[in-house]
Chain A
Amino acid sequence: MAGIRGLIVGLCALVLAGCATAPASPEALAANDPYEQTNRDMLKFNAKIDKYFVIPTVGLYFVLVPEGGRRSVHNFLGNLSLPTIFVNDMLQGEVSRAGKSMWRLVINSTYGLGGFFDPAAKIGIPGHGEDFGQTLAVWGVKEGPYLVLPFFGPSNPRDATGLVVDTAIDPTNQIHIKQHLWWAAGREYFTLLDLRAQTYQTVQGIQRNSVDYYSSLRNFYRQFRNEQIRNGHNQTQDLPDF
């Protein structure tokens, strides 16, 4: 799986390198988006994949799997991510959060029947996300130019690197079983399905309200990632004056 993701990121870098000669507009440069035209084309490509492959499956998923089942799938996928979250908590020096991740893994893998249920949240240990892109940000690595990756969507070189590293350190990718590729592809597919099922209405709302969906998504991604990196701690002093 690490190979598949690495290949996609590498392909994206090649596409960008090929298009780097197109001059960027002042607005694009101000928005830290020198590859805007390529990114817009990639968003259109992703939108087609979404429209013809993902959305029909999400519709089926809603029809065939009741809400409780979808929640269990979400919990199970979240539980699989906990070792990676734990490692990133530690790399960021967030020992208390790392402890919570470890407890969640132990409790949900046992009492939560392999992660399908989330008893840890019920006893006051709610989940949180961390990834290597955030770890790099905590270490002082700048985000780099905005990118739209094929299949994965909004990103930047820092987060794309994080994606590859997270896949490499994920313990489930170290277990070499005969059907590993099917397991990895299935997990990736259900992760996408779960994400899209959860964000379906939000994305529809953004599309409906937007003057320019592309730049709206770009801004949402940036603000959302900064919020994740700060772990929700408000930095109101950075806000612009009106």
Chain B
Amino acid sequence: MRTPKSPALTRRALLVSATLAAPLLAAGPAGAAANVAESFVDDNIHKGLDILRDKKLNLTQRRDQFETLLLGLVDVRRIALFTLGQYRRTAPPEDVEAFVNAFKNYATAAYQSYFSKYTNQNLKVTGSTQRTPTDFIVQTLLVDPNSSQPPAEVDFRVRTDAGKPVLVDVAYQGIWLSLEQRDQFVAFLGQNNGNVRTLIAHLSELAVNLAKPT
């Protein structure tokens, strides 16, 4: 025979259960999202380094494969618009679109140039920090097995608000690349009467030079 519980007892039981479960419920999705961000970085950065390490690929194949991987991982449009700073609002829309395309080519060449320096090193994900429910900083260490120097700290900023994780910034030893690019572009535009087309021409030239083997 079931003993009917008093309403007060049931409420208390519910309250206790809810209190106990709250941290789990709160930590569950956030923890899972953090794991998604960490796995995203872990898997894809290794893929990128593998492409740059692959000696069987010629220069064009390596560049094409790296570009395909990068454009699938990085929200280039979001970064490009951020780096334009205040000029994003004042530049003609067609110039902004042309800039996004020029930035894509520049970013591909620049990222390839950055990462190709670290092909002999190993990247190890050490944890992550959640800024907002859809904004994560994934911390990694870049370990050089042939060096006595301490490993370098490399952080990746991952956004998950578009339904899938995307990379929006990288920091080497605490220096964020997009912040540095925004400062450069805004300074350049300031010296060129805010003419985005001049910046596009300069970026295109730079992308060609960066793609050349050193």
- B113's nearest neighbour on chain A, judged by CB, is A209
Which residue from A215, A227, A230, A232 sits with its C-beta under 8 Å from B187?
Answer: A215
Question: Would you give the shortest CB distance from B171 to chain A, in whole angstroms?
Answer: 8
Residues of chain B lying within 8 A (CB to CB) of residue A70 = none
> Does A220 interact with chain B (Cβ within 8 Å)?
yes
Residues of chain A lying within 8 A (CB to CB) of residue B190 = 25-28
Question: Would you give the shortest CB distance from A118 to chain B, in whole angstroms?
Answer: 8
Residues of chain B lying within 8 A (CB to CB) of residue A71 = 148
B147-159 interface bits toward A, Cβ cutoff 8 Å, 1 = contact, 0 = none: 0101001010101
Chain B, range 95-114, C-beta contacts under 8 Å to A = 110, 113-114
Residues of chain B lying within 8 A (CB to CB) of residue A28 = 190
Max chain A Cβ within 10 angstroms of own Cβ: one of B159, B183, B203:
B183
Residues of chain A lying within 8 A (CB to CB) of residue B214 = 208
Residue contact A212 to B188, C-beta cutoff 8 Å: yes
> Does A210 interact with chain B (Cβ within 8 Å)?
yes
Question: Would you give the shortest CB distance from B118 to chain A, in whole angstroms?
Answer: 12
A195-239 interface bits toward B, Cβ cutoff 8 Å, 1 = contact, 0 = none: 000000100010011111011101110011011001010101101
> Does A126 interact with chain B (Cβ within 8 Å)?
yes
Residue contact B174 to A226, C-beta cutoff 8 Å: yes
Residue contact A208 to B179, C-beta cutoff 8 Å: no
> Does A242 interact with chain B (Cβ within 8 Å)?
yes
> SS class of chain A's interface: helix, strand, loop or mixed?
helix
Residue contact B206 to A236, C-beta cutoff 8 Å: no
Question: Would you give the shortest CB distance from B197 to chain A, in whole angstroms?
Answer: 14
Residue contact B113 to A223, C-beta cutoff 8 Å: no
Residue contact A227 to B175, C-beta cutoff 8 Å: yes
Of the four ranges (under 10, 10 to 19, 20 to 34, 35 or more), the interface on chain A belongs to 35 or more
Cα of A97 to Cα of B189 in the assembled complex, Å: 44
Residue contact B183 to A219, C-beta cutoff 8 Å: yes
Cα of A28 to Cα of B129 in the assembled complex, Å: 33
Which residue from A30, A209, A214, A234 sits with its C-beta under 8 Å from B174?
Answer: A234
- B202's nearest neighbour on chain A, judged by CB, is A211
Residues of chain A lying within 8 A (CB to CB) of residue B40 = none
Residue contact A223 to B82, C-beta cutoff 8 Å: no
> Does B131 interact with chain A (Cβ within 8 Å)?
yes
Residue contact B210 to A27, C-beta cutoff 8 Å: no
- A227's nearest neighbour on chain B, judged by CB, is B174
B168-204 interface bits toward A, Cβ cutoff 8 Å, 1 = contact, 0 = none: 1100011110111101111111110000000100110
- B81's nearest neighbour on chain A, judged by CB, is A242
> Does A56 interact with chain B (Cβ within 8 Å)?
no
- A209's nearest neighbour on chain B, judged by CB, is B110
Residue contact B129 to A242, C-beta cutoff 8 Å: no
> Does B53 interact with chain A (Cβ within 8 Å)?
no
Which residue from B113, B157, B189 sits with its C-beta under 8 Å from A205?
Answer: B113
Residues of chain B lying within 8 A (CB to CB) of residue A126 = 150
Cα of A201 to Cα of B27 in the assembled complex, Å: 43
Chain A, range 22-41, C-beta contacts under 8 Å to B = 25-28, 30-31
Residue contact A223 to B180, C-beta cutoff 8 Å: yes
Cα of A219 to Cα of B150 in the assembled complex, Å: 24
Closest 8 CB pairs of A and B: A227-B174, A27-B190, A215-B187, A219-B183, A223-B175, A219-B180, A212-B188, A212-B184
21 A-B pairs whose Cβ atoms sit less than 8 Å apart in the complex: A205-B117, A209-B113, A209-B114, A209-B206, A209-B210, A210-B184, A211-B181, A211-B185, A214-B187, A219-B180, A220-B175, A220-B180, A223-B180, A227-B175, A230-B174, A234-B129, A234-B174, A237-B131, A239-B157, A242-B78, A242-B169
Could you tell me which A residues sit within 8 Å of B by CB distance? 25-28, 30-31, 71, 121, 126, 201, 205, 208-212, 214-216, 218-220, 223-224, 226-227, 230, 232, 234, 236-237, 239-242
